[in-house]
Amino acid sequence: MIRRRSLAMVSAIVGALSGCATGPGEHGPPGETSVEDQPLDMAIDALDIVHGALRLTATMVDGAADLSVRLGGSCDHREVGGGLSTPSTLVWSLGDSEVAEAIGCGLVVRARLRDGDRSVNKVAQLEVAVDMTAEADNAEDGPQLQTFLMSEFGLQVVFAPVARGARLITGDSILEAARAESEEVEPAADDDTRQFVVPWIDFARSVLRRRPLQLDGSSFVTSLSVGGTSLQGERPDSHTPPQEPGEIASEDLPEEG
C-alpha cells in the first residue's frame, strides 16, 4: 500500500512539472535565452479613418516585422487589430469594438527580435485619449458642454442648460440623463445641468463614422488621439475595394529605403 502511494505521488509530481514546462513556441527553441523587455522607440505619424476603421501609421527605430498590438493596462492583454510592419514602419487598423476597448485600456506595441541566441522584446505603451467639442453653429442658448470624464463604463459628459427630459442621441442609442448616486429624488425644477454616460462602443462608432452626438438641437463632435497624435480627416474614397476593419492594403505600407 505504501509503495503504491509513493508511485502515485511521483507520477503526480512528474505530471505537474510536465504541465509547467515551457514549450519551444513560448520562449523560442531550446538553448535560446530570453531577456527583459526593452523600450521601443516609436512615434505615431498619422491617425486617420479608412473604410470605417481607425488606422495608425508609425515609425520605429530598430523595430521588427514580427510585431503585435495588444490591449494594455489592467485589461486582458490580447491582440487587437491587424496590419503590416517592417523594422522601421507600422501600419495598423482597429475596428469599432477594438477602439472602444483601447480607450479604456491603452495599447501596447511589442516587437520581437533576435540578438544572436537571445530573444529580445521591445515594447511601446500608447495612451488612447478622447475629446469632444461643440459644433460652431450650435445655438448660444442651447446645451453647452461643461466637462467630461472617463469612467469604466463610458464617457461621463455634463451639459447645461438642458431641458428637462432631453435625450442624448449617439446614433446607436438614445440616452437619458444619469442620476448622481447621491440623489434620492429627481433634480430640482430649476436645475438645468444634466450628466449623460456615453458607452465606449457608442463613442467609438461616433468617431469612426464621423457622426456627432445630438442633444436638444445641438451637435457635439467626438474625436480621439493615440500616443499624443490626434485623429485626422477621413481619406477620400479611392477605387480600391472596401477593406474589412483590421485589413491593410499593401500600398499603405511605405517601402524600405
Can you give the residue ranges of every domain in the chain?
29-126, 131-225
Looking at residue 133, its pLDDT comes to 96
Best CA proximity match to 94, nearest among 127, 56, 60 = 56
Beta carbons of 25 and 31 less than 8 angstroms apart: no
Q: Which amino acid is located at 173 in the chain?
A: S
- Residue with the three cell numbers 480600391: 240
Indicate the CATH number of 29-126 among 1.10.287, 2.60.40, 3.30.460, 3.40.50.
2.60.40
Distance between CA atoms of 256 and 250, rounded to whole angstroms? 13
> Could you count the other beta carbons within 10 Å of the beta carbon of residue 38?
13
Distance between CA atoms of 150 and 193, rounded to whole angstroms? 18
Query: Measured on CA atoms in the order 109, 257, 115, 61, is the torsion positive or negative?
Result: negative
Query: Which segments of 170-250 are extended strands (E)?
Result: 174-175, 194-199, 213-215, 218-226, 229-230
Element housing 154 (H / E): strand 154-160
pTM: 0.75
Distance between CA atoms of 43 and 61, rounded to whole angstroms? 9
pLDDT tens per residue, range 113-142: 987 778 899 999 999 999 999 999 999 999
How many residues in the chain? 257
Beta carbons of 64 and 122 less than 8 angstroms apart: yes
pLDDT band for position 95 (cuts 50, 70, 90)? very high
Q: For residue 235, is pLDDT > 70?
A: no
pLDDT band for position 194 (cuts 50, 70, 90)? very high
> Could you count the other beta carbons within 10 Å of the beta carbon of residue 220?
22
Q: Give CA torsion, residues 184, 187, 189, 192, to 10 deg.
A: 180
> Measured between alpha carbons, how far is residue 81 from residues 32, 57, 69, 123 in Å?
29, 13, 7, 17
Looking at residue 233, its pLDDT comes to 60
* Residue 3: φ, ψ to 5°: -65, -40
DSSP state of 101: H
Distance between CA atoms of 79 and 133, rounded to whole angstroms? 31
Q: For residue 85, is pLDDT > 70?
A: yes
Best CA proximity match to 175, nearest among 209, 220, 113 = 220
- Residue with the three cell numbers 485619449: 129
Q: Which residues pair with 174 in a beta bridge?
A: 169
